[in-house]
Structure 1
Amino acid sequence: MTTETITRHGIAAHATEVTVIAGDTAALEAARCFADSIAGSAADRDRERALPHEEIEAFARTGLWGITVPRSHGGAAVSHVTLAEVLAVVSEADPAIGQIPQNHYCLVDAVRLIGNDAQQALFFREALAGRRFGNAVSETGTANSKTMHTRLVRSGGAWRLNGRKAYSTGALFAHWVPVAAVDDEGHQWLAYVPRNSPGLQVIDDWDGFGQRTTASGTVLLDDVHVDALHVLPRDRLFSPPTIHGPFAQLLHAAIDLGIARAALRDLRFWLRNKARPWADSGAVHASEDPLTLNKVGALIVRLHAAEGLLTRAGQALDAARDAPAGEAAAVSAASIAVAEAKIMTTELALDASTTLIEFGGSQSTLRSYALDRHWRNARTHTVHDPVRWKYNVVGAHWLNGTEPARHASV
């Protein structure tokens, strides 16, 4: 069992050794090793809704949670291509576990973009030490998904937080819970709150039919004290233009790619070993059914297209990250490239997971095989940002030169 100490910032820190990953190759190798260690128990976790506390601790010890920290602060600053593949590899093994660090990486990126020197020194050090940043950004019951009621008010030399958050993926497993809030003048802020702060309550009430073990539940904030050092100006995340929005979307696309790969992996096994051919096909084995071969061929072409678009999107993000600050053209190019990848990975994950059940036949619906989890995971995760709007963004940009919107969903 690990022991815990309390740091000077009031956060519980596990006294375990965390690897510091040196570069892209090491990151990919660590992701594959970790994925191998969790893949065999993924169906059981989904079936029993067994929250992956031990798995997340092991994940953090790999050092993968610190791979986006800039080299200037001791991190690997891996390419976006590598980061996307890391999440896709882990998500193929268990997409619920793959989704949990998605917000963490976004919140490390926020520190890079809008944190001052002292904030970067603190939070980058925390990330390299395996400390996890959760998420308390979204709210329900508002006019739309971008509206917030959570309030941050000044209190002497510090701040006070009050509000209610939903879909707080990662917060239950986190050391820090970054909270999006507005002040009395309407300015947006990100308050990085230690998980054990008085007045902060994380409730495990996530009841989604897919991604069941992400613990994407509710966060309550009742007059929570926040140190001034832990408050960042969220308004500056998107103006001037930054890659924060397409960065977040790239990671969502990577998770969907992982789900698609998992469904296709099981489809291949099922067609070779379990499924029967349709009687009219004349085939002896399901893997020889001509209509099956046609559909499988189409899915594999789309898989390779999705992988290529995700790589292209990662390269566009690398170029935009290295461009001069506020370079709108590079950010727009990255946003469009990521939107195209997100369209492909979303539709592939849904189609592959549906085809698995369709071609698997009646046996494939049995709960003992848990094949339905791929579709449930895909359908749950892909409602995060509607693909119908991404088609609109891509078309408007190509046809009319319209710039993409600037927020975390583009």
Structure 2
Amino acid sequence: MSFDRNAPLPPGIVVGAAWGPGPTDNYAALAAPFRPILARIREQSVTRELERRLPAEEIAWLRDAGFTALRVPREHGGSGVRLVELFELLIELSEADSNITQALRAHFGFTEHALDSPVERRERWLARLGKGAIVGAAWSETGEARQSQFATRLTQNASGWHLNGAKFYTTGSLFADWIHVGATDADEAQISVTVNRHADGVEVIDDWDGMGQRLTASGTSRFNHVKVDEREIVAGRAPFPYSEAFYQLVHLATLAGIGRAVANDAAAVLASRKRSYSNAVTPRAAEDPQLLQVVGRARAHAWTAGAIVAQAARALERAAASFERPDALAIIAETEIEIWQAQTVASQLVLDASASVFDALGASATLRAAGLDRYWRNARTIASHNPRIYKDRIVGDFAVNGTLPPGQWRIGVA
């Protein structure tokens, strides 16, 4: 069969966006109800950035549409989606606004924690999450905090359990109903507790002033003699067995979405340009092969980042399904290695794409009103989490010496 590529396509036939098919046969139907909401979110993304308007309303749209309950089983009011479907949806959300994906990162991680919890805790939390509850996180501590233990303390007296301490990088907690907090108990053991975001003694402050991801509310949370329900005290360093891989993959999905957004915006700006340089090879910028090459390469980088996330999500599904298997540790370690390998490559692809598009768009693209600078700033901020250079070393140590990745890591004074 031959095709005439110079002739118009038949009526009703269009070429897709060329980001690839969804991860499952059901994905298009799953994503369809959310796409109008994502379009609304994207419409105002530059305005929110310029005005520094936090996306509380937009997160409420997603909650009301069931997006925050994607992984909650259907019998508890959620959609029960697979991990590969969740991460493709997170790419689409990040294309609309990467701030929102990061703001919900802890929430989606807590959902995995609930799925992995003992029956009583699992049922209690899945019921809450299915009804739209959002959970933030408060784990990192700054200043003189030590790697070996949290300065935030859980203590007990005659009136019950109480939490005292301060955290930073408490991303998304300002938008949450509950906060999952890492702490140290009276026996110097590491534990976590979940407290009501609006409880007496809880203070969440919007003091995040990073150069990127400015709307994630990643600032300070303080806990002053906060009462803790004994049922919400959980022992252990990691919230669920594959948590390290999961949280890093959320970052990579966020980066992949940024890559798509910058490629799409660059294409739209170039297509609309009326002016050209006298030393350009064509009078129209949209037909200049050098400029087209820049946009094409940025798009290829974004596509590759998305493909990497999709492959890594399949590995994560294997880890999540390995709970009861005797080789669970081996599967989880292998998954971590796959995602650490993905991290170093995917992050660089998006950093390069978000910086290089300016070569095709001219000085006007650097105006603040255009908002194109936010893509590199956001990508650079996300890529600074969980330093890539350490992941390269860990992967190399595995490849050369067979050393397993270290698992849950902490930052602080050694």
Q: How does the TM-score come out when normalised to structure 1?
A: 0.87
Query: What do residues 111-136 of structure 1 show as CA deviations (whole Å, max 9, x unaligned)?
Result: 233x3322111111111101100111
Cα distance in 1 between the residues matched to 2:256 and 2:387: 16
Contact conserved, 2:161 with 2:227, CA < 8 A, in 1? yes
Cα distance in 1 between the residues matched to 2:321 and 2:159: 36
Amino acid at match of 2:95: E
Q: Would you say 1:80 and 2:83 are equivalent positions? A: yes
Q: Name structure 2 gaps, 5 residues minimum.
A: 1-25
Contact conserved, 1:266 with 1:356, CA < 8 A, in 2? no
Contact conserved, 1:67 with 1:75, CA < 8 A, in 2? yes
Q: Would you say 1:336 and 2:337 are equivalent positions? A: yes
Q: Would you say 1:51 and 2:58 are equivalent positions? A: no
Match of residue 395 from structure 1 = 396
CA gap of 1:26–1:234, structure 2 versus 1, over 3 A, is farther
1:235 partner SS: coil
Match of residue 160 from structure 1 = 162
Match of residue 308 from structure 2 = 309
Contact conserved, 2:171 with 2:218, CA < 8 A, in 1? yes
Contact conserved, 1:176 with 1:193, CA < 8 A, in 2? yes
Cα distance in 1 between the residues matched to 2:167 and 2:274: 45
Q: Would you say 1:32 and 2:42 are equivalent positions? A: no
Match of residue 60 from structure 1 = 63
Which has the greater radius of gyration? 2
Structure 1 counterpart of 2:211, from 209, 212, 218: 209
The root-mean-square deviation of aligned C-alpha atoms, in Å, is 2.3
Q: CA deviation at 1:25?
A: 5.2
Query: What do residues 321-374 of structure 1 show as CA deviations (whole Å, max 9, x unaligned)?
Result: 112436122112211222233223311221121122232111111122121111
Match of residue 6 from structure 1 = none
Q: Describe how 1:249-288 pairs up with structure 2 within 5 A.
A: 249-274=248-273, 277=276, 279-288=278-287
Cα distance in 1 between the residues matched to 2:389 and 2:31: 32
Match of residue 12 from structure 2 = none
Q: Which moved more, 1:253-262 or 1:146-155?
A: 146-155
Amino acid at match of 2:155: V
How many residues align structurally? 383
Q: CA deviation at 1:88?
A: 1.1
CA gap of 1:358–1:298, structure 2 versus 1, over 3 A, is closer
Amino acid at match of 1:332: A
Q: CA deviation at 1:259?
A: 1.0
Q: CA deviation at 1:142?
A: 3.6
Identical columns (%): 35
Q: Which moved more, 1:131-140 or 1:394-403?
A: 394-403
Match of residue 8 from structure 1 = none
Cα distance in 2 between the residues matched to 1:393 and 1:73: 39
Amino acid at match of 1:176: W
Amino acid at match of 1:231: I
Q: CA deviation at 1:397?
A: 2.0
Match of residue 176 from structure 1 = 178
Match of residue 382 from structure 1 = 383
1:212 partner SS: coil
Contact conserved, 1:249 with 1:408, CA < 8 A, in 2? no
CA gap of 1:343–1:179, structure 2 versus 1, over 3 A, is same
Cα distance in 2 between the residues matched to 1:322 and 1:275: 54
Match of residue 367 from structure 2 = 366
Query: What do residues 128-147 of structure 1 show as CA deviations (whole Å, max 9, x unaligned)?
Result: 10110011111111466775
2:181 partner SS: strand
Contact conserved, 1:244 with 1:408, CA < 8 A, in 2? no
CA gap of 1:311–1:385, structure 2 versus 1, over 3 A, is same
CA gap of 1:142–1:111, structure 2 versus 1, over 3 A, is farther
Cα distance in 1 between the residues matched to 2:144 and 2:255: 27
Amino acid at match of 2:302: L
1:154 partner SS: strand
Q: Would you say 1:355 and 2:356 are equivalent positions? A: yes
Q: CA deviation at 1:279?
A: 4.2
Cα distance in 2 between the residues matched to 1:234 and 1:28: 35
Cα distance in 1 between the residues matched to 2:39 and 2:125: 29
Q: CA deviation at 1:266?
A: 0.9
CA gap of 1:371–1:162, structure 2 versus 1, over 3 A, is same
